[in-house]
Amino acid sequence: MAFAPGHISGFFEPVYNEYDMEKTGSRGAGINLSLGAVSEVEFKDSEVQIFDFFINNKNCDSPVVRLAFNYLIGVQPLHVTVHTNLDLPIGQGFGMSAASAVSASYALAKILGIPNQKAMKAAHFAEVQLKTGLGDVIASCFGGIEIRKEAGLPPWGMIEHIPGSLDLVLCVIGDQLDTSKILSDREKIVDISQYGKYCIKKLIDNPTIENLFLMSQLFTKKTGLAENRVNEAINVAKGYGTGSMCMLGNSLFACGDTDKLSKVLSNFGKVYVCKVDQSGAHVIKKD
């Protein structure tokens, strides 16, 4: 059994290396969440390889977890069953795809005696290959409020943390965004890369939570990724703190007066309240 935190990116710069997925990912900044994914994994010997996935008790396929497992165990004839509970919706910029892959991979790695580093690598490869995310896996593994200074897996990928603990208000405002579609749009990627590069430089110059929100707001405005309703919610949040768009989702993250933010943002959609996860992905000891 393992937990992986959800993760919000405030802004990002995609970095692709067509020859090496270990050096592919994103530079940017974000916050890991106390809400995330818990996966329980069990397996038994089998004549053929079988994967059974259950998400929030519903039997369904999970392509990113399936691919991560393929990287971990190859074609070994095992019957693997995964039960994952997600605290937040998929496709709203909360890093649930990465959290499910990381938590399941960590749990399977624990059973098989495989180092966590290989589980992280498998989950990262799966996310990058399927274009469901770029930097969420690395962030989720390490936790905290992070600046991803260099893209990819360690030792190429480099993370620096901004110290801090705060309550976060999350709000789901509209329909899911198709991350893979956005990451495949060459014209959109040009804007995202340009402003992501600018924002990461400015945050490194002044690495504070306040500046992270400011740069995220700038990125949101300049890239035009937010729908009108999300922009309205960002403006309303300014009266009680600060907020910005979760990349990439029709959703918002905010901090300030938690009670008042929760109340006013509930007019826009479903609200969740959580804290910053400080520990990152880890195996859970069962009672």
Angle at 12 between CA 167 and CA 90, to 5 degrees: 60
Within 8 A by CB and 6+ apart from 201, the residues are none
pLDDT at 180: 74
- Which tokens sit at 72? 């971990």
Domain region containing 277: 1-287
- Predicted local distance difference test score (pLDDT) of residue 101: 97
Q: How confident is the model at residue 223 (pLDDT cuts 50, 70, 90)?
A: very high
- What integer pLDDT is reported at residue 185 of this predicted model? 79
Mean pLDDT of 28-55: 95
185-194, 232-241, 257-266: least confidently modelled range: 185-194
- Domain total for the chain? 1
Residue 223's closest CA among 252, 184, 196? 196
Q: Cα–Cα distance between 12 and 25 in angstroms, integer?
A: 10
C-alpha 227/C-alpha 245 separation (Å) is 10
Q: Are 109 and 118 in contact (CB under 8 A)?
A: yes
pLDDT tens by residue, 160-170? 999 999 999 99
Instruction: Please report which confidence band the pLDDT of residue 58 belongs to, taking 50, 70 and 90 as the band edges.
Output: very high
Task: Band the pLDDT of 132: cuts 50, 70, 90.
Answer: confident
Mean pLDDT, the chain, whole residue set: 94
Q: Which pLDDT value is given to residue 73?
A: 93
Closest C-alpha to 250, from 262, 233, 275: 233
Q: Which amino acid is at 79?
A: H
| Dihedral, 132, 82, 142, 183 alpha carbons, nearest 10 | 0
Which range has the worst mean pLDDT, 18-22, 142-146, 184-188, 241-245? 184-188
Banded model confidence at residue 177, pLDDT cuts 50, 70, 90:
confident
Mean pLDDT of the 134-162 span: 95
What pLDDT is attached to residue 183? Answer: 76
Rounded distance between C-alpha atoms, residue 268 and residue 44, angstroms: 46
- Write out pLDDT tens, residues 85-122: 999 999 899 999 999 999 999 999 999 999 999 999 99
32 with 45: CB under 8 angstroms?
no
Whole-number Å distance between alpha carbons of 3 and 226: 30
As a whole-number percent, the residues of the chain with pLDDT over 70 amount to 100
CATH number of the domain at 199, please.
Answer: 3.30.230.120
Sign of CA dihedral 99, 65, 282, 15: negative
In this prediction, residue 287 carries a pLDDT of 61
User: What's the pLDDT tens digit per position in 245-276?
Assistant: 999 899 999 999 999 999 999 999 999 999 99
Q: What is the pLDDT of residue 170?
A: 98
Q: What is the pLDDT of residue 179?
A: 72
Strands 50-55 and 158-162: unpaired
